[in-house]
Structure 1
Amino acid sequence: MILSAKKIALSYSPRSVLQDISFDFAQGNFFGLLGKNGSGKTTLLKAFAGINQPRAGEICLDNKSLYDLSPLLRARIVAMVTTTWPSNMLMTGRDILLLGRYPYLSGPHYGPHDDEIVSELAGSLNIQDFVEKPFFELSDGQKQKIMIARALAQKTNFLFLDEPFTYLDIKQKDWLFEFLRNYAQDKQVGILFSTHDRFIVDQLDHVFALDGKGGGAIITKEDVPAYLASF
């Protein structure tokens, strides 16, 4: 599958932030998304995830509008992790992971297959030590990993992450980066994530760089230093 932005324009509140953005994003791609604060990174991620609809142009999935799909079908194809979480959630980490299985729910209860997927992800992401704890008791870094695991539980073709490494220490940041890069390749999941972290940026082969003037383009790692110097 390929997700394509075709000359899209996006706004944040009344302000136009992106104009004439065209970008093909395929399964298995692992790209960073760079840009100044306020340049439209989160707005673009939400558009690809089917949350914000462009005010012009369209986002297509294999040449069919992403927004023509039902919300339930979209949730089987695209998932997103934002930078905000409910502040007083009484659910456990495991409960939240199970929410990722909702698009596949055929009855009133989750089944053994859903529990198996959740347990497997808890082990893969090294969150089994705190996945049974109430979400509100967890550290910000632990919450971040729970929310990423919830998105992975959706088993989508594309995953969009807004600043996924923000709350992690250096060791955890490096580990999660490698996990996501391998996951994209092994599972053929397209992963696009925003970041301001130079350590992460230096490890990327390609990034989609927003120019702060409403435009953007794919650049290679060789072009990143000049791009960052323009900030």
Structure 2
Amino acid sequence: MSVVDLRNVGFAYTDVPVLEEVSLSIESGEFLGLVGPNGSGKSTLLRIALGLETPDAGSAELFGEPADEFDDGHRIGYVAQGATSGDRRILVTVREVVTMGRFPHAGYGRLGSDDRAAVEDAMVKTGVADLADRKLEELSGGQRQRVFIARALACEADLLALDEPTVGVDAESRDAFYDLLGELNDDGMTIVLIEHDIGTVTEYATTVACINCCVHYHGDPEGFAESDALADAYGASQRMLEHDPGHTHSHDEEVSR
């Protein structure tokens, strides 16, 4: 069973089409990098996949159920666009944020020792245990990233969905963050990532989907690098050039190696 299955999805805001006949699936354990220019429909497609928007045409299934009817929310860890650089006036502590991930398991009951252990384990695994009593508003963007991932781990999510999670985050924290995602994927977590840095996507993702209203490419990172999808989706002046071993980037003018 696919974790996500999108078939001929169409969506429009008023009379402006955002997505047209988009079909793709995400298998369990896959790390999908979703790329495309600004306004290409990436965030809308992710929200449809998670059941937060209903397509105008086609169908979207999540864990085998209609996505907009799926109600087993603890299976999904979603970090929305701007979550790491949003309102700084958030007075809850790191431990309190991560503990929120256990609420679906506890229901209306009190959190037990297993719940508390899951929270501690999640904070240790994401490297935020030493920040447990700090307020979220006091943290950097990179630290916030890890807290949101810890919440998803505490929730025991099967799918981690991230919409441009590194906006406003310094390069060192960003690299460490993606190393963490790689480790989580190696451990079997399914990940969907929207990211503008093509090099990051091709390095860490197991599958790449390039869209601009429709799907221009869906397959392995190596095939994407060799395809015309980048030029088709971004414009003819775009190309992919290698800077460092294992890193590729998109540019609209030639850059020397």
Q: What is the TM-score normalised by the length of structure 2?
A: 0.79
Matched AA of 2:66: S
Aligned residues of 1:131 and 1:146 also touching (Cα < 8 A): no
Runs ≥4 in structure 1, deviation > 4 angstroms? none
Residue 12 of structure 1 and its aligned partner are, at CA, apart by: 4.6
Q: Which residue of 2 aligns with 1:83?
A: 81
For the residue of structure 2 that corresponds to 1:100, the secondary structure is: helix
The 3 A distance-change label for structure 1 pair 68 and 229 is closer
Residue 18 of structure 1 and its aligned partner are, at CA, apart by: 0.7
State the distance in 1 between where 2:21 and 2:199 align: 30
| Matched-pair identity in % | 28
Residue 122 of structure 1 and its aligned partner are, at CA, apart by: 1.0
Please give the residue correspondences for 1:61-76 in structure 2 after superposition, counting only pairs within 5 Å: 61=62, 63-70=64-71, 73=72, 75-76=73-74
State the distance in 1 between where 2:51 and 2:77 align: 9
Residue 63 of structure 1 and its aligned partner are, at CA, apart by: 4.0
Residue 216 of structure 1 and its aligned partner are, at CA, apart by: 4.4
For the residue of structure 2 that corresponds to 1:218, the secondary structure is: strand
The 3 A distance-change label for structure 1 pair 94 and 46 is same
| Offset from partner CA, 1:19-55 (integer Å, 9 cap, x none) | 1111111110011110000111111111222211212
Residue 137 of structure 1 and its aligned partner are, at CA, apart by: 1.6
Are residue 161 (structure 1) and residue 165 (structure 2) matched? no
Q: Which residue of 1 aligns with 2:241?
A: none
Q: Which residue of 2 aligns with 1:228?
A: 230
Aligned residues of 1:49 and 1:79 also touching (Cα < 8 A): no
The 3 A distance-change label for structure 1 pair 14 and 190 is farther
Q: Runs of 5+ in structure 2 lacking a partner? A: 235-257
Aligned residues of 1:127 and 1:145 also touching (Cα < 8 A): yes
Residue 13 of structure 1 and its aligned partner are, at CA, apart by: 6.5
Q: Which residue of 2 aligns with 1:214?
A: 214
Q: CA RMSD in A?
A: 2.2
Q: Which residue of 1 aligns with 2:95?
A: 94
Residue 8 of structure 1 and its aligned partner are, at CA, apart by: 1.3
Residue 224 of structure 1 and its aligned partner are, at CA, apart by: 2.9
Matched AA of 1:147: F
Residue 119 of structure 1 and its aligned partner are, at CA, apart by: 0.9
Please give the residue correspondences for 1:14-163 in structure 2 after superposition, counting only pairs within 5 Å: 15-61=16-62, 63-70=64-71, 73=72, 75-85=73-83, 87=87, 88-163=89-164
| Offset from partner CA, 1:2-26 (integer Å, 9 cap, x none) | 1211111133566431111111111
The 3 A distance-change label for structure 1 pair 51 and 127 is same
| Offset from partner CA, 1:165-210 (integer Å, 9 cap, x none) | 3343333322222221221231x22101011113303314420110
Aligned residues: 226
Are residue 199 (structure 1) and residue 199 (structure 2) matched? yes
For the residue of structure 2 that corresponds to 1:33, the secondary structure is: strand
Q: What is the TM-score normalised by the length of structure 1?
A: 0.87
The 3 A distance-change label for structure 1 pair 138 and 175 is closer
Matched AA of 2:193: F
For the residue of structure 2 that corresponds to 1:101, the secondary structure is: helix
For the residue of structure 1 that corresponds to 2:133, the secondary structure is: coil
State the distance in 1 between where 2:148 and 2:13 align: 24
State the distance in 1 between where 2:194 and 2:12 align: 18
State the distance in 1 between where 2:175 and 2:40 align: 26
The 3 A distance-change label for structure 1 pair 148 and 62 is closer
Higher relative contact order (CA 8 A, sep 6+): 1
State the distance in 2 between where 1:209 and 1:63 align: 24
